[in-house]
């Protein structure tokens, strides 16, 4: 039943990808982001970013409970969307990443007002935790939220925020007590921040592949206490719980990019002739294909293992770290081999493998770098802090 449902979801994502990927590539970043979101909403796929209880996809045995999202569904969708279009992929996952803190810790009113709209694509979500001094070490967050007579007043700067300028709200981590350097365990709190808030300025910049991203500069931004997500001091845990739920899907996206790169290599090596014969007849290139396939399959199995464990209610810390590390590092390797197989065409702007090569790179950095995944995995293996 579940496997059939996952296949069905993959088929739906394939249709969306086939229908929209090409036109998205020809648009500017913001237009592409909004068009991708609309396409996903029309196909009903955004509902998989939100739990059934909160207006998301109906319970069907995939999610651990109607109050939770299914990691297997999210992974199946991301793998297939990434195969076709990085923009479709990122717009799906940002709805989950930006709204999960609300699902996990928001009050009833906030949940009812925001989450069903996220599932419909009318609210566009973003997750704002990173700062110049707080990247891998999230506890170093310095953005301040200070109590005021009518709620909170926020000051600080967030960097590398996906969907900055496109989002209608940000789930934002701020310091409500203590000092930078205290680890952030009880001193950080999450807030729902509407994009229309006075004093919020967005500064956009570009990364190496199309991806709506920028900085948030907060100057005396007022937020009502009803927009606080979770208890005061619980913010870091909420952020980590959100990442724990979404991180495996980064690995799934890496698998999608890798699968596309392998398919591109296969068809090019069969059709391109040099030295009077197809490139696919050369043993050195055949060895490459075999290794690409093996690494891809291993990544797929690691993603599936971690997703199933998460949907069974396990923490799956080691499984997720393993999957993210292996799938994203190997996606870069697989896409690099594909570029090599295309020769000069592989680096020509506009070729599929050139695009994949750029699109896979950031996956080794966001939601926990590869080095951080190694630290997590080693800690699990050693059973220490």
Ligand X SMILES: Cc1cc2nc3c(=O)[nH]c(=O)nc-3n(C[C@H](O)[C@H](O)[C@H](O)COP(=O)(O)OP(=O)(O)OC[C@H]3O[C@@H](n4cnc5c(N)ncnc54)[C@H](O)[C@@H]3O)c2cc1C
Q: What is d(CA 104, CA 10) in angstroms, rounded to the nearest whole number? A: 27
Q: What is d(CA 225, CA 236) in angstroms, rounded to the nearest whole number? A: 18
> Backbone phi, then psi, for 192, in 5-degree steps?
-90, 120
Per the rule left: phi > 0, alpha: psi between -120 and 50, beta: everything else, 367 is left
Q: How far is CA 109 from the centre of its chain?
A: 26
* Residue 136 CB neighbour total at 10 angstroms: 12
Angle between helices 317-341 and 235-271 (to 10 degrees): 30
CB-based contact 74:367 (threshold 8 Å): no
Q: Which residues does 277 contact at the CB level (< 8 Å), separation at least 6?
A: none
Instruction: Produce one character per residue of 225-243: b if its CB has 16 or more CB atoms within 10 Å, e if not.
Output: eebbbbebbbbbbbbebbb
Our answer to whether residue 367 is catalytic in this structure is yes
Three-state DSSP state, 159: strand
Q: Which of 179, 215, 367, 371 is catalytic?
A: 367
The Cα-based distances of 43 to 20, 57, 62, 322 in angstroms read 12, 12, 19, 32
Per the rule left: phi > 0, alpha: psi between -120 and 50, beta: everything else, 178 is left
Listed in sequence order, the DSSP H helices in the chain are 2-25, 29-42, 71-84, 86-105, 108-120, 235-271, 283-311, 317-341, 352-361, 370-382
CB-based contact 151:224 (threshold 8 Å): yes
Nearest residue to ligand X on Cβ basis = 135
**Where do contacts with ligand X occur on this chain (CB under 6 A)?**
127-130, 135-136, 160-162, 207, 211, 213, 362, 365-367, 369, 371-372, 375
Per the rule left: phi > 0, alpha: psi between -120 and 50, beta: everything else, 292 is alpha
Indicate which residues carry an active-site annotation.
Answer: 367
């Amino acid at each position: 039943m579940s496997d059939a449902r996952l296949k069905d979801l993959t088929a739906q994502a394939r249709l969306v990808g086939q229908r929209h990927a090409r036109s998205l590539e020809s648009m500017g970043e913001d237009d592409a982001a909004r068009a991708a979101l609309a396409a996903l909403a029309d196909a009903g796929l955004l509902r998989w970013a939100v739990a059934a209880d909160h207006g998301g996809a109906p319970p069907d045995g995939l999610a651990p409970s109607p109050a939770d999202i299914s990691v297997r569904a999210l992974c199946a969708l991301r793998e297939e969307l990434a195969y076709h279009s990085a923009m479709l992929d990122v717009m799906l996952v940002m709805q989950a990443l930006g709204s999960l803190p609300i699902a996990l810790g928001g009050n009833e009113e906030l949940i009812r007002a925001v989450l069903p709209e996220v599932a419909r694509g009318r609210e566009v979500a973003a997750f704002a935790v990173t700062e110049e001094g707080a990247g891998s070490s999230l506890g170093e967050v310095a953005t301040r939220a200070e109590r005021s007579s009518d709620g909170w007043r926020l000051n600080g700067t967030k960097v590398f925020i996906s969907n900055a300028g496109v989002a209608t709200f940000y789930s934002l981590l701020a310091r409500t007590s203590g000092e930078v350097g205290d680890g952030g365990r009880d001193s950080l709190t999450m807030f729902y921040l509407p994009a229309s808030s006075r004093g919020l300025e967005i500064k956009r910049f570009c990364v190496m592949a199309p991806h709506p991203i920028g900085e948030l500069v907060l100057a005396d931004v007022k937020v009502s206490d009803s927009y606080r997500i979770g208890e005061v001091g619980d913010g870091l845990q909420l952020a980590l719980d959100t990442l724990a739920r979404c991180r495996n899907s980064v690995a799934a996206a890496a698998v999608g990019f890798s699968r596309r790169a392998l398919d591109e290599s296969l068809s090019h090596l069969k059709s391109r002739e040099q030295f009077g014969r197809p490139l696919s007849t050369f043993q050195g290139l055949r060895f490459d294909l075999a290794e690409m396939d093996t690494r891809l399959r291993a990544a797929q199995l690691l993603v599936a293992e971690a997703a199933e464990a998460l949907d069974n209610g396990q923490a799956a810390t080691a499984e997720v770290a393993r999957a993210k590390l292996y799938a994203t590092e190997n996606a870069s390797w697989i896409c690099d081999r594909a570029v090599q197989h295309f020769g000069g065409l592989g680096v020509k702007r506009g070729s599929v493998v050139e695009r994949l090569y750029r699109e896979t790179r950031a996956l080794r950095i966001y939601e926990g770098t590869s080095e951080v995944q190694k630290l997590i995995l080693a800690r699990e293996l050693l059973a220490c802090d």
